């Protein structure tokens, strides 16, 4: 895992100054905003920070905690310049960086940078730390141990040791949170005759109540409040787009949890559909509802609108939108509104979404029932 640090200025020489308080210049960098706001102050602050002693590295890294993306980039670049000088002088504070890495209260981005600096300064130590990151709160930090387990499984296969390969791949899958690694591990395990339950691994919600079609003529359906937004009576019958509509049961057979309105209702256009399901939580807890959808959509949790997107056919992907929420112990009702527009091109026929419940790392939260 390597980072390429961008240099904002060309420095012909750099000395390691005595460690000092960098709180003010760091605050100046954290104040930078879009459209150039705070750039002048940030430029001066950056030049001051990059001349700091390597002992200030943890302070600069901590400055990344809670910083906006633009400010984080400035601070990341400053860390890179200080680190390059520290490596040249063989003064990298590895022990301090390890302490910083192990403190999960620090932001994921800053901890990734800390691990990469450890790796540059002491590759052997980084390898020793790698297995401890398999279940880290940062999905980025999980990638390295997962990659090592994939490598170990492949080596075992070369030695005809199927049992060890299965153990390595299974352990890797348990920690994997990125789709590319999950797909690779799933294929390897299935090629070895092992069952992999992808919906369970991701936490996709597969069984729903669906009702459609309501009208989305002139794309007005997105804002129209149809009956399911007011009440959820699953034995109710309503006036739909061209006829009466009622709720139907639908269970997805797609491994990535796609809930396809076209399957029960046909290839409708200019239409609105609703999907509802209950999720039973074992406790009151924070969570994320993650949705992928290329149609217009809205999501409610227990009657509260979490987010809405009035946009059509610009692509969909896993975890396209992450909606932080609070689950209550017991039943939680999730309602999705999915709007199809009037376009008739082949690439506009999809009228579907995928939705999963997980924590901030992407680890599935499985329903109690």
Alpha helices in 50-196 (DSSP H): 57-62, 69-89, 94-102, 108-121, 123-129, 139-158, 162-175, 179-191
Mean pLDDT, residues 262-284: 97
Q: CA-to-CA distance for 224 and 229, rounded, in angstroms?
A: 10
What residue segments make up the domains of the chain, in order of their start? 23-133, 139-196, 202-358
Residue 325's DSSP bridge partners are 287
Is the model's pLDDT at 156 over the cut of 50?
yes
Mean pLDDT, residues 317-332: 97
How many helices (DSSP H) and strands (DSSP E) are in the chain?
Answer: 12, 12
pLDDT tens digit sequence for 196-247: 999 999 999 999 999 999 999 999 999 999 999 999 999 999 999 999 999 9
Is the model's pLDDT at 273 over the cut of 60?
yes
Is the model's pLDDT at 8 over the cut of 60?
no
Mean pLDDT, residues 5-29: 56
Mean pLDDT, residues 172-198: 97
Tell me the whole-structure pTM to 2 decimals. 0.84
Q: Can you give the pLDDT at residue 362? A: 94
**How many Cβ atoms from other residues are within 10 Å of residue 85's Cβ?**
21
Q: CA-to-CA distance for 366 and 369, rounded, in angstroms?
A: 8
**The CATH number of domain 202-358 is 2.60.40:** no
pLDDT > 90: percent of the chain: 85
CA dihedral 280, 284, 285, 290 (to 10 degrees): 30
Is the model's pLDDT at 248 over the cut of 60?
yes
Q: Please confirm whether the linkage preceding 124 is cis (ω < 30° from 0).
A: no
Q: CA-to-CA distance for 87 and 68, rounded, in angstroms?
A: 28
The token pair at 220 is 């007005």
The token pair at 35 is 């459209």
Using pLDDT thresholds of 50, 70 and 90, give the confidence band for residue 32. Answer: confident
User: Quick one: angle between helices 179-191 and 162-175, nearest 10?
Assistant: 150
CA dihedral 227, 233, 239, 242 (to 10 degrees): 100
Using pLDDT thresholds of 50, 70 and 90, give the confidence band for residue 165. Answer: very high
Mean pLDDT, residues 98-118: 96
């Amino acid at each position: 895992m390597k980072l390429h640090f961008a240099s904002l200025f060309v420095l012909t020489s750099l000395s390691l100054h005595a460690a000092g308080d960098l709180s003010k210049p760091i605050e100046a960098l954290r104040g930078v905003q879009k459209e150039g706001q705070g750039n002048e102050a940030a430029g001066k602050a950056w030049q001051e920070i990059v001349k700091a002693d390597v002992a200030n590295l943890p302070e600069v890294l901590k400055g990344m905690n809670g910083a906006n993306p633009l400010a984080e980039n400035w601070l990341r670049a400053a860390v890179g310049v200080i680190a390059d000088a520290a490596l040249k002088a063989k003064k990298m504070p590895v022990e301090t960086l390890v302490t910083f890495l192990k403190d999960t209260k620090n932001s994921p981005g800053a901890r990734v940078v800390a691990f990469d600096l450890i790796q540059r300064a002491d590759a052997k130590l980084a390898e020793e730390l790698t297995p401890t990151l398999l279940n880290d709160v940062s999905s980025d930090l999980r990638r390295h141990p997962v990659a090592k387990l994939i490598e170990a499984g492949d080596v075992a296969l070369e030695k005809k040791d199927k049992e060890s390969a299965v153990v390595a791949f299974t352990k890797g899958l348990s920690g994997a949170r990125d789709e590319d690694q999950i797909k690779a591990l799933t294929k390897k395990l299935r090629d070895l005759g092992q069952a992999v339950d992808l919906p369970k691994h991701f936490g996709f919600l597969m069984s729903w109540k669906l009702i459609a079609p309501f009208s989305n003529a002139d794309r007005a359906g997105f804002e129209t409040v149809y009956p399911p937004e007011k009440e959820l009576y699953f034995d109710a019958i309503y006036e739909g787009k061209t006829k009466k509509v009622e709720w139907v049961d639908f269970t997805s057979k797609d491994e990535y949890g796609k809930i396809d309105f076209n399957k029960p209702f046909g290839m409708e256009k200019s239409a609105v559909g609703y999907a509802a399901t209950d999720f039973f939580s074992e406790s009151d807890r924070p969570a994320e509802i993650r949705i992928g959808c290329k149609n217009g959509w809205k999501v409610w949790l227990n009657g509260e609108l979490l987010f809405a997107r009035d946009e059509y056919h610009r692509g969909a992907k896993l975890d396209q939108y992450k909606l932080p929420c609070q689950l209550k112990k017991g039943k939680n009702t999730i309602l999705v509104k999915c709007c199809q527009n009037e376009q008739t091109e082949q690439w506009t026929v999809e009228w579907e979404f995928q939705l999963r419940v997980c924590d901030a790392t992407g680890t599935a939260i499985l329903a109690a029932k």
